[in-house]
Structure 1
Amino acid sequence: MRILIAQPKREQELEQLEHEILHHPDTDIIVFPEGYFKEEKRERICSLAHQYNLYVVAGYKDHNDKDRAFIVNRAGELILERAKTPEKERLYSPSKVVDRDVKIAYLLCREVFLGLEGLDQAQSVDLIFNPIGVGMFSEEQFSDWTNEAKQIAITQKALVIGVSHADGSYRNCGYSIPIAYCFDEKGEEVFSAKNDTRTRILDTETRKTWILDHSLI
């Protein structure tokens, strides 16, 4: 399975998503960050997924500007959709979904810090996605975040893949480290990117990663 992990700039349309779909037709799953699109674009993304026979994993903003989880399958069917878990609450469900032979778990942004206790270990998965809104506000946060993802990968025996937008900053603090990462079932780094917003394609069978010669900004 080939997974494309992109770090777009924030936008009102879907130009960057459509660009990646059109230029990489052999992709099985496309992963975009938290809050990449607005609720009114859901139907369009479902149509693209069906047309190009791929999964789209991302996050979107609802009409109240709240973040929600989103996965659509190859048939254009919405297979996972829910609100983002508020701070200090248990991880919302559903956070795992099985679609045909694809077993996926989903942690929206800071839900990664709820993953060790909140993801049901009895239900195995192959892939865990962590769409993130904007990048890290410090090196310490980057370390904390990726260490948490690494432990989840080991506990769940699954690939864990995360990605943020290329632009923006936490609460508009003016500082941001865009990130993308992947850890395998042993917690070993498949790739880890800081301030490198190039698109990546991962082959889940060979664990080979291609870094494309472009970013979306």
Structure 2
Amino acid sequence: MRLLVAQPNHEAGLEHLIEELKQYESYDAVLYPEGYVLGDSGVLSLCKLAKQYKKLIITGYRDRNNKDRALIINSCGDIILERAKSPMNESLYSPSVTMVDNITIGYLLCVEILQGFAGLEGMEGPGETIDIIMHPIGVGMFSDEQFAEWIEEATKIALKYNAMIIGTSHADGSYRNCGVSIPISYCIDSTGEPIYISKNDTRSRIIHLKTRQFDILGQ
């Protein structure tokens, strides 16, 4: 599988995604940030795009109550994972694991990275293991310390589940308008070694999951 990992700006429509889908032959699946899609109409549009371009789409959306929710849509345009965001004082919500083409995908939504180390166990199904963990993030990090903390946590999760983990945030926006935003994108392999860690570099990347190499989209 070839995965496009994008860092768009916040936008009312899906312009950035649609533009990247025009290069559809370069990849099989896309990972977009938490809250990139707005409302039920946005989700419906996303389902149509997934079916049109035959892409697995992994992201998060903001519902009518302005709450963030998890979302994975398969290449037929069907929603295969959808749930609310887990509260910080509770266990990770289910479902947080799904299977696509014999690949078992774990899912952590933004700050759920701090719940994933003790949250994905037992969700795989009998005899299954997690192959890859996707981590859509809302906005950039509010400090270098947070950046380092989340990368450290992602590394621990990759090692625990023996699974690659990939995360990405929007290129713009700050946590509760604190005024600091460090866009983040990363991929850490199942041994805990980084394939890449991006800080303030908002270019889209295509990760070749089998070879564990990546390219910059358009280069």
Would you call these one fold, judging by a TM-score over 0.5? Answer: yes
Aligned position for 1:101: 102
Equivalent position to 1:132, from 124, 128, 137: 137
- Residues in 1 aligned to 2:26 and 2:71: alpha-carbon distance in whole angstroms: 21
Where 1:91 maps in the other structure, the secondary structure is: coil
Q: Normalised by the size of structure 1, how large is the TM-score?
A: 0.95
Gaps in structure 1 of 5+ consecutive residues: none
Where 1:198 maps in the other structure, the secondary structure is: coil
Aligned position for 2:160: 155
Aligned position for 2:191: 186
Where 1:79 maps in the other structure, the secondary structure is: strand
- Superposition deviation, residue 131 in structure 1: 0.3
- Residues in 2 aligned to 1:48 and 1:122: alpha-carbon distance in whole angstroms: 29
- Superposition deviation, residue 213 in structure 1: 5.3
- Superposition deviation, residue 206 in structure 1: 0.7
Q: For the structure 1 residues 140 and 76, does the alpha-carbon distance in structure 2 shift closer, same or farther, using more than 3 Å as the test?
A: same
Runs of 4+ in 1 over 3 A off after TM superposition: none
Contact 1:182 1:189 in 2 (8 A): yes
Superimposed CA distance per residue, residues 103-122 of structure 1 (whole angstroms, 9 cap, x where no aligned partner)? 11100000011001111157
Q: Normalised by the size of structure 2, how large is the TM-score?
A: 0.95
How many pairs does the alignment contain?
214
- Residues in 1 aligned to 2:43 and 2:138: alpha-carbon distance in whole angstroms: 18
- Superposition deviation, residue 52 in structure 1: 1.1
Query: What percent of counterpart residues are identical?
Result: 50
Give me the CA root mean square deviation: 1.2
- Superposition deviation, residue 24 in structure 1: 3.3
Where 1:42 maps in the other structure, the secondary structure is: helix
- Residues in 2 aligned to 1:120 and 1:75: alpha-carbon distance in whole angstroms: 28
- Superposition deviation, residue 27 in structure 1: 1.3
- Residues in 1 aligned to 2:12 and 2:108: alpha-carbon distance in whole angstroms: 23
5 Å-filtered alignment, 1:1-217, equals 1-39=1-39, 40-120=41-121, 123=124, 124-212=129-217
- Residues in 2 aligned to 1:212 and 1:94: alpha-carbon distance in whole angstroms: 31
Contact 1:29 1:54 in 2 (8 A): yes
The one-letter amino acid of 2:52's match is: Q
